[in-house]
Structure 1
């Protein structure tokens, strides 16, 4: 290899690296210099096409087009060579007017799988709702929620309450979906005229359902009525301006009508919505190649250059459709543009024209086995603008997560919904339709069980405390109980907030009053009637009774994490003195049992005994030790040190096995306090030794009630003296 060839090879390597680093200007200059150094009359078409790619990526689309035209004139251009140019054109659409910047409205009752009205709705454990058929089309095994990516698995049970509501409130739309399914079956049997008649009926019922127009366009296409197919596809695009499938069908209709440039504009717009859509990219490359070759024979490229110079003109009727007012309907902001569809380019034996998207059928479930999800990311090297793949995804994610107030759903009984149904009659929409079957009140924080029944979250938890079965159908919910995370049904919450805001406000006020009452640590304090508890001393508990499951859960939910502990009393139910415990940790088991790690905090005296929801409660007042001063304090300090040494010696003399059990349960003996009156409950070691000493509960209770540290120390000394005398020698 000569030095000149070596230098040329090195420069080409530099150019490739510059292109990869997105320094398109440098790469373009290197390729241009290399082309100039070639002998006169000889053109390195590979270098020329690479330079054209650099020009396109740097935004010089007109110059790039000249080079591609030159290559086409010598039959050196293929559709694959136009991949970069097509991507740049689509990227210009995104840069100038990104879809994520638009407000993309879909109905609140739209399935995120098939993009159609919910039919036979199934609520997953994550709280999101889809059509049953959409979930079943994902396969027999586990599948992912298209909203939160949580895993789910069959069997899929219809949400009974939501299904009844949809049938009552939206009978027309439910009927249209049923007709659509019948028509889909007829289409698959190649009974296209019959399917067309069914779709005509469905559209007369739901004239604003864009899926019906899209599917009817498919039937017109199969019947080679391309003009009708285009009309329906355009209607679908007007109703849903940023729906990828609608624009794909419109583009294919334009191709068969011979309107290549308009079809190219639509395919480029599809790529702006989803840069990873292989069908749109492939078709756009083929059309652009044909147009370049055709215009080459005519000598210039006026329309193509105009299109490339002004990418916003590519949208044509799409932009004009945005100015058309969409009828008042159920709305929510939802940017689902990134969930595009990649479709195989094999021919469909049922279609007479092989150019149609092969696996598209009137079935609107985009998640069927023939379709696969794609990401929106594209090759970094061919995206010239600052909208990199990462920024596109971030932009889409931000728009997708955008929330608007529930009132924006525009669900108003006084207006006409998307079906054209008049809800002016109050008998159609009734708040009782959304009542919990357990508390008979408006659903608050609704959750749906795997068997399809919906309850208030708190109502369901209380039922599962007693029996791990569905309160209505008695289906076993042990596995559901084991999850311990009951996600609220988002759609049900939205319906309640939109239809019955006043009732929801009242329901929430009642709930907040109950929570405020439960948060009071002086009145109606929950009492666990069990063993003796002391301040600063750990108190592990095994919770299995339903009433105490409820009590512990409430303590955790309201945030106090505190409850009282008292020993039992045959007359009053529980003793007049106890200790407030603070929950440090709770470990739940699959069957609903739990182990609570708690520690003593404050002593209290019971003022009034009572009960709530099956467990004991009490009005209490807290008690503290009385402080002393002067000579009394000096005497108290002397007594304290003496009793501490006595207790320490007693514990040290215990047998190793017994000492080990005490240490594992209560921890080490606390150190001697310098200021014996610093803690209102007295020194911590006093309570530790009382918990360790083998005394009956009735003998321990007086120590808890004492407000004199001197009396408590004197009592402990007497017990220790008795224990030392009774110890076997």
Structure 2
């Protein structure tokens, strides 16, 4: 490969050697190094150049530059600078020898800028510093957002308002007619959010922000007042508000940016340049800061300085066409350096108290916090229990019927993140308590929830219309714990509910707007009540499950004969019913199940016997007596007696 030439593959410039014939230089090894560079193995090239330099009595300037370029390509900028310095000591460096260094530093700046403002948000950042799209816009805000920033205006949340999907924005931002869906999850936003007067600010978050960021909150108020005045073209009064805001938070990049733009609108170019300088010191990698400073310098007639800022913008965002066109209007080129800073707010730990994050209903730390349209925050479970009884907000008594109808109980994500980040230990303890409660509720031997209503039987569907608050809570808990089961018993005047019942499995729940629901259940197994109890308004019981006692030998033969006989008798009775009676039974309970090959296969006996018991015209107490039997033979005999009775009683 000829020295001082660019290779056609990869366009890598190869510096000429000062003394190619010097003892210790091996042309074959240098060719291997260049091939390594072309293949992208820059570290191997560095090792070869280092080895060649070590063999020389005097360092070769061209070899030092080759090593420096390979180090730069490998991203080892600090080491590359050392090699460039050695080359400079052997002879003055020329601009045409440094493009790789300049390009590498510019790329490093772009990657740092991208890492601060995009990678932290979860975007995939390419080596060019872009997020994978063709362009992020001509003059987009590159400043990073933190937890307490509004996703719309990018500033500290002012009058924080939580929308139905659980995300939080400034109330003023949501009033913009162009905002039609959530920027986070793209859910369509209901402008009134379930209230006749529109959305209300989140009371807990508003108080928390005023406490944690008192100065910035006050500055944000001045800032917004200034924006309103500016919109009304009252520029001098607007500037007073901006000055008051900057005096409180002089390090706010966006605030300084807007004040600089206001200065330019008022033709105060020197003040705009001053704000631009402050901006670039605070946010040296913020593209918009350099663009704004460049614009102000141009307006002030300081084109040479403006060019430097335009070139900085190009280095940070190479695809920004507008800046390139601006830069072409001026004549000179200069170099510059920049360093990254972080704009994330620091939460004063001594100001954040767990008492600020307590649910006003359970007086414990928020767990799964949800915000109502009226702006109040509660634990999800606490709010659901309150709305079971009354469709009004527990604090301000605002009617929440529309909110209840949509069942939009989405957790307030900002509140959850504050709890996770700053009250992690307290949240872990609160979660532990919740999980223990759920575990206790899911123990279907220790404490079973009891629905006191009607007779239920194994394998037989039992649809329920749930409207009482206590049973709304009970059904919801059975779903949340994952058991999807509860006991069904008939009422008892002395004990509250009977000593025997049937476990029901929830198959589906359909909710009505007013909180009522239709629950589709099916009988699973029988039980005997050991002790009666109560929990949060509904009945509970300690139970033991019932199973039929199995028989063998002659008893089994006798049982099979009885089983077949009663089944045939039941089938004859059903067939003899009038058509309207049969259609009613079929619509509620379906067809008579087929005869079981082994009537003892199920712990509760054959399914057809329970279907028959459900459709026979028997009082609940008589049905309960048969349900409690653990002898299939006794149960079949009892059913046969009932069949004989109803057959004789039926008018001919």
With normalisation by structure 2, the TM-score equals 0.74
- Which of 287, 303, 312 lines up with 1:258 in the alignment? 303
- Which of 150, 173, 180 lines up with 1:134 in the alignment? 173
Distance 1:703 1:190 in 2: 86
In structure 2, the CA distance between the partners of 1:242 and 1:679, relative to structure 1 (3 Å rule), is farther
In structure 2, the CA distance between the partners of 1:720 and 1:487, relative to structure 1 (3 Å rule), is same
- TM-aligned CA deviation for residue 199 of structure 1: 2.9
SS in 2 for 1:515: helix
Partner of residue 82, structure 1: none
Partner of residue 417, structure 2: 494
Partner of residue 209, structure 1: 252
- Which of 478, 498, 515 lines up with 1:555 in the alignment? 478
Partner of residue 156, structure 1: 199
- TM-aligned CA deviation for residue 430 of structure 1: 2.5
Partner of residue 611, structure 1: 534
Q: Residue 143 in 1 paired to residue 200 in 2?
A: no
1:145-544 pair list within 5 angstroms: 145-152=182-189, 153-154=191-192, 155-188=198-231, 190=233, 192=235, 194-233=237-276, 235-236=278-279, 239=282, 246=289, 248-256=291-299, 257-259=302-304, 261-262=307-308, 264-265=310-311, 268=314, 281=321, 283-284=322-323, 286-287=325-326, 290=329, 320-322=338-340, 324=341, 326=342, 329-330=344-345, 411-413=347-349, 423=350, 428-544=351-467
1:658-677 pair list within 5 angstroms: 658-677=581-600
- TM-aligned CA deviation for residue 270 of structure 1: 7.9
After TM superposition, the structure 1 stretch with the greater mean CA deviation from structure 2, 682-691 or 158-167, is 158-167
Distance 2:288 2:404 in 1: 40
Deviations 1:605-664 (A, max 9, x none): 111100111110001110100111111111100110000000111111111111111111
In structure 2, the CA distance between the partners of 1:693 and 1:524, relative to structure 1 (3 Å rule), is same
SS in 2 for 1:97: coil
SS in 2 for 1:147: coil
Deviations 1:387-440 (A, max 9, x none): xxxxxxxxxxxxxxxxxxxxxxx6342xxxxxxxxx4xxxx4332221111111
SS in 2 for 1:108: coil
RCO higher in 1 or 2 (8 Å CA, sep ≥ 6)? 1
Instruction: Structure 1 unaligned segments of length 5 or more: list them.
Output: 1-24, 26-89, 296-302, 308-312, 331-409, 414-422
In structure 2, the CA distance between the partners of 1:120 and 1:531, relative to structure 1 (3 Å rule), is same
Partner of residue 550, structure 2: 627
Distance 1:538 1:226 in 2: 80
- Which of 143, 156, 171 lines up with 1:117 in the alignment? 156
Residue-pair matches, total: 515
- TM-aligned CA deviation for residue 588 of structure 1: 0.6
Deviations 1:186-241 (A, max 9, x none): 44455545544443332232233222211121133234444543453454466567
Distance 1:239 1:488 in 2: 36
With normalisation by structure 1, the TM-score equals 0.66
Aligned partners of 2:291 and 2:310 also within 8 Å: no
Aligned partners of 1:251 and 1:266 also within 8 Å: no
1:72-83 pair list within 5 angstroms: none
In structure 2, the CA distance between the partners of 1:550 and 1:123, relative to structure 1 (3 Å rule), is same
SS in 1 for 2:339: helix
Distance 1:95 1:269 in 2: 15
SS in 2 for 1:151: coil
Distance 1:287 1:174 in 2: 37
1:12-51 pair list within 5 angstroms: none
- TM-aligned CA deviation for residue 269 of structure 1: 6.5
Deviations 1:135-166 (A, max 9, x none): 11235xx7211211112213121111211222
Aligned partners of 1:117 and 1:177 also within 8 Å: yes
Distance 2:493 2:403 in 1: 39
- TM-aligned CA deviation for residue 667 of structure 1: 1.4
Partner of residue 690, structure 1: 613
SS in 2 for 1:539: coil
Partner of residue 711, structure 1: 634
Distance 2:366 2:353 in 1: 13
Partner of residue 147, structure 2: 108
Instruction: Structure 2 unaligned segments of length 5 or more: list them.
Output: 1-7, 9-109, 115-124, 133-141, 193-197
Distance 2:600 2:266 in 1: 95
Deviations 1:463-511 (A, max 9, x none): 1111111111111111111112301111111222233222222211111
- TM-aligned CA deviation for residue 666 of structure 1: 0.9
Partner of residue 383, structure 1: none
Distance 1:650 1:143 in 2: 64
Deviations 1:80-133 (A, max 9, x none): xxxxxxxxxx99x985432559x9742211111111111111110111111111
Distance 2:288 2:502 in 1: 66
Distance 1:443 1:621 in 2: 37
SS in 1 for 2:490: strand
After TM superposition, the structure 1 stretch with the greater mean CA deviation from structure 2, 452-461 or 210-219, is 210-219
Q: Residue 98 in 1 paired to residue 129 in 2?
A: yes
Q: RMSD between aligned alpha carbons? A: 2.8
In structure 2, the CA distance between the partners of 1:721 and 1:240, relative to structure 1 (3 Å rule), is farther
Deviations 1:269-289 (A, max 9, x none): 6866xx7xxxx64x3464366
Distance 2:279 2:643 in 1: 89
In structure 2, the CA distance between the partners of 1:591 and 1:186, relative to structure 1 (3 Å rule), is closer
Partner of residue 380, structure 1: none
In structure 2, the CA distance between the partners of 1:562 and 1:483, relative to structure 1 (3 Å rule), is same
